[in-house]
Structure 1
Amino acid sequence: MPDCTPMGGNFPVETYNCYNKVTKERRNITQGACQDLRDANRDWSWEPCYCCCSCFAWGTRITVAPDTYRIVQTIGLGDPVLTTRVEVVGGKPQLTWVSRAVTFSDGMAPAPHQPAVLLQYGDQGELAVTLDQPMLLANGMLKAADRLTTDDQLVDREGRPVPLHAVILGKYTIGFHSLTTQDFGQDVSAEWFLEANGVIAGDHMVLAMQDDDTVAARFVKDHHDLPRLGSKAYAEGRKDCSGNALLTRQAREIANEAFLSMDELINGTSPVPYGSTPYITQKQAANVAVNGTYRSMGQTFLVHDFEYLAKVFNAFFPKINFYLAWEDTHPNMFAFQAYGQSTVYVSGQLLRLEGMFKQGLAFLMAQGVARFESASYTNDSGLVCTGLADYFGANQILQTVFYGSYGTWVNPGFEQIKKLFALIDEANLIGHEMCSTPSIPCRLESIEAAIIGMPLPACAGGPVPYSLKLESAKWTTREGATAVEASFSHRLDLIAAKDVANYRLTHQHGAPEGNVQIPLALVQLDINDPSRLWIIVDGHVSGKDPVTLTVRDLYADNGSTLDPEASSVTVGGKP
């Protein structure tokens, strides 16, 4: 695949080959042989690459002899099929049909909702294929199915043009199958084509070898740069395009019952309940939607990474459910608790964002997991605050899941998150509330602090020296006993706050006795507001003299320390 970048929607498979970063040469050799090359030249390295296949939907009719066809998935090795080479004469394709034996026959097992393109052409023609399936055009050139438009014309068995009436992105609920009559072990000196449902398409080798100079020359100019069906660029300037379907007036009702159009699948509703905690705000998501560049809905390679990562995360965090809504076009992620289930909901649009790959996806999922960690610093829904979730996700969650390979995930993942945040307009970078909506610079600072092992920054709720203040105290009763109700500027660390030795109540009887300490029994915290507590007095207190409350060795739940200048107040009211 060009530049080894995952493309298309037909189950790309990660493999490895030996790559020279200077010459761009790739060699399909063993890892040991590659290491020998690297020992002699440091420009060589062992790197991942992706490959994928072009396929016909099950049920496609492949011509095997004049006026005779077989269903594609029933054709096996050695079976004869009718094939043709293509020569372009006077700007038109010339076809020469011969019978050849099948040398490769394989495909994808039936599975729900596999991405596909459905083509409608001629009077009754209809064909469902994978997105990268090469189709022959009336000018003798090739286009992948997801780059076709209704301005193109396909070709029939006689080489005559066939008008295209519909190009529709959708999902196919059963299998796909590939065929070729060419030898994988030899160089491709000529390409062979098949007749599929009455139009001409390249066999599997035509796509597999499209980077070969001979085969690449068959495709239309700048083929890799053409907009893909399901992308914003594809729909631009066309009134007859929804983005996922391009239709002429001759388009018909879809006959293939196993095919569901993407527009049918997108119904405008969302399973996200009211009050869910978003990854970015609504305005920020709107900026990303407008400023971002997106892959088409048919390019689903990150779907398989999501499914894999969900299994990995579930191994460590089995109580969290991950849900991908591929058809959701609003780029955001949500965490919520509903029906007794903790759920991380991911929009497919985030996965389709150009520049987002599996490391960034893992970063997002880790932040979603962190929302459900045990922490006192939470939002109104009881989920961990945003900056702290960024911090937990980038540190302890990813460390847990990718122990031993943390750096290979967190560093590229952070770069991908930076690119996501860079799509937000300057006006929406600011924060409005420390817990739920810290600023984007603050969130980036939190993530970076997590990666390098520094404390959570103050802008996200991290510790601030001497920021904890004793604000007020007043006499009250608690469970029938005399008590002092004290309020602090921050929520308190529970362990230090419950230690009665950290509190002193004194009153002055006048000289020469000086200050007299009042015996204390215990301390109780307000479970709903840990910035408030009650100090229970042991015995009777005279109401004649003023009483002072002094505290020590307390700190906030985020680690902020006590301000010595704000550690003492006069107790108001009367005991």
Structure 2
Amino acid sequence: MGTNDWWYQPCLDNIKKLHGTMCSEEHCNSTIVKDYSENYCNCTDVYPNGCDPVRYQGCCSYSATSPVPILELGCYCCCGCFANETPVAVDLKTYKAIAEFNPGDLVYVADNADLTKWSQKQVLFSNGAGGNSSAITMIKLTYEVSDGKLDHLFVSRDQLFYMTDKKMKSASRLVPDQDQLVFYDGTTAMVKSLEVGKYKKGLHHIATSLGPATTMDGHLMLAKGIVCGDYALQLGLGGGQSDSKSLVANHAQLPEFGTKEYFEKYKHVIGNALKAHHPEHKPEDFDSSVFEVFGKRGPVIIPESAQHFVSKEQAISILENPESNISPVYSGIGDDLVKYLFTMFQGFYPDVIFYYDKVNQMPNAYSFFEYGKSFVVVNGGLARVALMDFDTLAFVIAHELGHLYGGVPKNDEDYTCEGQSDFFAITGVLPKVWYGLSSGPIISQAIETLTSFFDLINPKLRTGKKGNTCMHISTDCRLEAMKAAFHMMPLPACAGGPVDPKLQVESALPITDKTGTILVVTYNVPVDPKSATAIGNYVFDPILSVNAARIDPTNPSVVNLHTIMGKPGSYSVCVYDVTSAKGEPLIKGDNCASFKF
């Protein structure tokens, strides 16, 4: 393992989402850790992951970007590239699957960048991840061998290919109907399409050296006759250790396919986050038992009545904000975290169907009742937001469960309101899944991260709708609801909770005229006439009789109590159940006043 590996940064991003650290390169490259990683990442019988007690297609969920926990040190290494079955040349006429190469075997390589001399060299490095029980996200690269005849390779995003200008270019930066791959004899094959999907046979890489390559010499091999770089060259170019002239011009600045920048730059190409091709070329169908193209099944249908973690408009705002730094579908970032969290929550909510819509780039999550079932859906785009970590994803799932089970207040569709769902996630869901105090650090980290997450939304879309305390509250109100739950306070009024106490009794002053004695009770704000004129809401010590109560016609903050005069002396009046004109209750301790007759 090295910092130059193509999967290093995505794996490091996954480790950061776990609030973990990467082990030293020396430790990860030690023989014992390599052997352990090989077993761990391939889900062997010793480390079966989800492949126990019965192995089945896709049970091994690890990919090159999956963290490998090193328990004794409390840090992580990585699984970390061709598909296992890719034919690689042993000599000019003989090929075998790349996964069958072992250290010491011979591989056919070009001795120079001009491809004028070829020879056999020993494989010094051979490693892989996945296997027949895995489903690894890879790119299907389709190219035209001859007029109308197509072929393909399954590759990682950073697999390097030799171009017609004798430079190298990564798979994710190739452009259909523009870039041409090169065969052993110098003939070319036009790139026709790029597609992202699940490859179900594992991945593998080999190299003719143990360290990063500094030149192309001896590191250009043949995959199905196509000239491409070995793993050592991939490391060297990725880390900038080889001659910069080996890469196509401005390689690092070229957009990766699936991004908005890619389609803006190459306007002759159509597609989306999952594919890119020329309008006149239709990507070929393929055996889904080997490679399942993302998007073939169509998007997950979310009912109109479904509840969202953020509104549709807010999600679009996050998607379009460059600071969100949402990684491409094929990065693998966030996948393991969501799948693990679903496994955790499933144990406590067995009747809920949890679904990870990996290919959906919209940064959102949903919950709904349909066909008599409860559903929680998390989009891959949300998991791939740069700042979205393990704790916050746990909160998102808990929030969606809050919509289903959080109680009142509810909206017109009989789902729990937004703020109460945030509140219930902290009071009812997370402490259920993480026993005792163990949920505390998760909650506090989630609130901190969500504060930054909400900042990714256009400020105009953070304010909510005035007067709506259920589904259209502000992001500040949502954070207030979370903090209230964490600090054992009631749901705030902005989120549908009890109105915050603001009413105070400022004074009580007796006035005697020809009609009798009037006790003038003054409040700090205008009062609700109905509750303020209810005689039973005023309690005197010593007891006084009140005949009537009326709002002062000149001041809505004053109530005139018509009393029967008692004995001269000191008195007090305490007010209960009176609210302000806005419905705000009395502040406890500020509801009494003293006076003298």
TM-score, normalization: structure 2? 0.65
| Percent of residue pairs bearing the same amino acid type | 23
Aligned counterparts, 1:527-542, within 5 A = none
**C-alpha distance in structure 2 between counterparts of 1:252 and 1:466, whole Å:** 65
Offset of residue 415 of structure 1: 4.4
Aligned CA distance change for structure 1 residues 105 and 284 (closer, same or farther; 3 Å): closer
1:287 maps onto 2:329 in alignment: no
Q: 2:204 aligns with which of 166, 175, 178?
A: 178
Corresponding residue number in structure 2 for 1:38: none
2:32 maps to none
Number of positions where the alignment pairs a residue of Structure 1 with one of Structure 2: 461
Question: How many Å apart are 1:315 and its aligned residue?
Answer: 2.9
For structure 1, the residue ranges without an aligned partner over 5 or more in a row are 20-25, 31-45, 469-488, 490-503, 506-512, 516-550, 568-575
- Deviation per residue, 1:122-148 (Å, 9 max, x gap): 424421212232223333433321122
Q: Where do 1:312-323 residues align within 5 Å?
A: 312-323=344-355
Q: Which amino acid aligns with 2:400?
A: G
Contact residue 214 and residue 236 of structure 2 kept, 8 A:
no
Moved more, 141-150 or 298-307: 141-150
Amino acid at match of 1:239: H
Cα separation, partners in 2 of 1:362 and 1:143, compared to 1, 3 Å: farther
Aligned to 1:414: 447
Distance 1:253 1:332 in 2: 29
Q: Secondary structure at the match of 2:90?
A: strand
Q: How does 1:435-450 map to 2 (within 5 A)?
A: 435-450=470-485
Q: How far apart in 1 are the matches of 2:5 and 2:120? A: 35
1:476-491 matched pairs, under 5 angstroms: none
| CA pair 381-115 structure 1, distance change in 2 beyond 3 A | same
CA positional deviation for 1:396: 5.1
What displacement does 1:153 show? 3.0
Corresponding residue SS for 1:264: coil
Counterpart contact for 1:466–1:562, Cα < 8 Å: yes
Whole-angstrom CA distance in 2 between matches of 1:327 and 1:344: 16
In the TM superposition, residue 460 of structure 1 has moved relative to its aligned partner by 1.3
Amino acid at match of 2:119: W
Deviations 1:526-562 (A, max 9, x none): xxxxxxxxxxxxxxxxxxxxxxxxx98999xxxx967
Question: Which AA in structure 1 matches 2:170?
Answer: A
| Alignment CA distance shift 1:140-1:445 (3 Å) | farther
CA–CA distance in structure 2, aligned partners of residues 353 and 226 of structure 1 = 21
Letter in 2 for 1:242: G
Q: Match for residue 183 of structure 2?
A: 156
Measure the CA separation in 2 of the matches of 1:335 and 1:385.
Answer: 12
TM-score normalised per structure 1: 0.67
Match of 1:197 in 2: 224
Aligned twin of 1:143: 169
Offset at 1:393? 2.2
Q: Tell me the CA shift for residue 98 of structure 1.
A: 1.7
User: Residue type matched to 2:378 in 1?
Assistant: V
Q: 1:252 to 1:340 in 2, by over 3 A?
A: closer
Asked whether the equivalents of residues 221 and 229 of structure 2 are also in contact (C-alpha less than 8 Å), the reply is yes
Which deviations, in whole Å up to 9, do the C-alpha atoms of 1:3-29 show, x marking residues without a partner? 99965699978985457xxxxxx7648
Aligned counterpart for 1:311 among listed residues 317, 323, 343: 343
Instruction: For 1:98, give the aligned amino acid.
Output: Q
Shift of 1:200: 1.8
Confirm or deny: 8 A CA contact 1:278 1:334 kept in the other structure.
yes
Say if 2:253 is the partner of 1:232: no
* CA shift digits 1:496-522 (9 cap, x unpaired): xxxxxxxx99xxxxxxx999xxxxxxx
Q: Which runs of 5+ in 2 are unaligned?
A: 30-72, 504-527, 529-535, 538-544, 548-574, 592-597
Query: Which residue does the alignment assign to 1:547?
Result: none
User: Would you say the 8 A contact 1:166–1:245 is kept in 2?
Assistant: no
> For residue 365 of structure 1, what is the aligned residue in structure 2?
397
1:130 paired to 2:159 = no
Q: Deviations over 1:197-224 (max 9, x none)?
A: 1212223344455554424844446645
Write the deviation string for residues 466-498 of structure 1: whole angstroms up to 9, x where unpaired.
589xxxxxxxxxxxxxxxxxxxx9xxxxxxxxx
Distance 1:429 1:52 in 2: 40
Choose the corresponding residue for 1:254, options 284, 289, 294.
284
Relative to structure 1, the CA distance from residue 376 to residue 8 in structure 2 (aligned partners, 3 Å threshold; closer, same or farther) is closer
